[in-house]
Amino acid sequence: MTGFFREVARRVFAQELKDSNLTSRDESDQYAPQYVLTPTGAKVNRIFLVGTLIEKEDIGTDSEYWRGRVSDPTGSFLVYAGQYQPEAAQFLADCELPAFVAVVGKTSTYTTDDGNVLTSIRPESIQQVDGLARDLWVLDTSKQTLERIRAVEAEEDPDSKLAKEHYSTDTDYYRAMIKKALESLKEGE
């Protein structure tokens, strides 16, 4: 299976994903994966997140097409599941709100008329989990985001450099985001 590798599921907070507007794709190959480069230099194709499903709505016209909103300590992700994600769509149809959910999926971007890039997630899997899984994810994502912030500051690798160039990343802003996320773990102690 040379040439095949599985895309790593990146850990990015909702706020950072929302701030992302740089997409890249090898234009010569229509099957090349599409990536979203985030302000801290995460090159995201697949994403793993755990959060709270707070809204769901069937926005389909002919067939069911579910939109779910999953919140984390920094914002929320939009998850869309239709006939091509039958398991995820089924989950959204059946589950009760609110619920802790773990989502594995691919990012997909949409550019609005006024040039805004909206990033949503096409889930490969949605599973209901417990609060511990959510906390573990927040800690994990904080740690990985902080590592990326350090890499951006040091301009360690091409992705970090590109992120800094494109976004003029304000690393303090993202440090504050992480702090907010981590503090949410201390509440209720």
Partner 1 sequence: MVSFLRSNTFTPLSSGLYHVALYFGTPLYTIKTTKRLEVERMKQTAESIRDRFLKLGIDVPLEDIESRLDELITKFKVPSNEAQRSVTNYFLKKYSIPKNEFYVRQAEPQLTKIVNISEDGQWANLKAKVAQLWENTHESISQVGLLGDETGIIKFTEWKNAELPKLEQGESYLFKSVVVGEYNSRFQVQINKNSSVEKLDEPIEVGGGDFTPTAREAELRNIADLVGGQWATVRGKVVQLWENSHESIEQAGLLGDQTGVIKFTNWASSELPDMEEGKSYMLKNVVVNEWDGKAQIQLNRSSSIEELDEDIEVRTSTFTYFGAMVDIQTGSGLIKRCPECKRALAKGACAEHGKVKGEYDLRIKAVLDSGSSTQDALINRELTEELTGLSLDTAIAMAADALDPGVVLDKLKHELVGRYYTISGHKLDRYILVDSITPRTSLDRELLEEMLTELEVE
Residues that bind partner 1 (CB under 8 A): 6, 8-11, 46, 48, 50, 101-104, 124-125, 127-129, 132-133, 135-137, 139-140, 142-144, 146, 172, 175, 178-179, 182-183, 185-186
Say if strands 22-24 and 46-58 run parallel, antiparallel, or are unpaired. Answer: unpaired
- Strand ranges (DSSP E) for 59-153? 66-72, 75-81, 99-111, 117-128
User: Which residue type does 124 have?
Assistant: E
Task: Quote the least distance from Cβ 82 to partner 1, whole Å.
Answer: 20
With CA atoms as reference, report the closest residue to 89 among 62, 113, 124, 115: 124
Task: Quote the least distance from Cβ 133 to partner 1, whole Å.
Answer: 5
Nearest CB to partner 1, comparing residues 6 and 114: 6
Task: Quote the least distance from Cβ 11 to partner 1, whole Å.
Answer: 4
Task: Quote the least distance from Cβ 126 to partner 1, whole Å.
Answer: 8
Nearest CB to partner 1, comparing residues 61 and 186: 186
With CA atoms as reference, report the closest residue to 65 among 102, 90, 99, 46: 90
Nearest CB to partner 1, comparing residues 5 and 110: 5
Q: What is the dihedral of CA 89, 95, 97, 101, to 10 degrees?
A: -70
Tokens of 114: 């006024």
Nearest CB to partner 1, comparing residues 59 and 93: 93
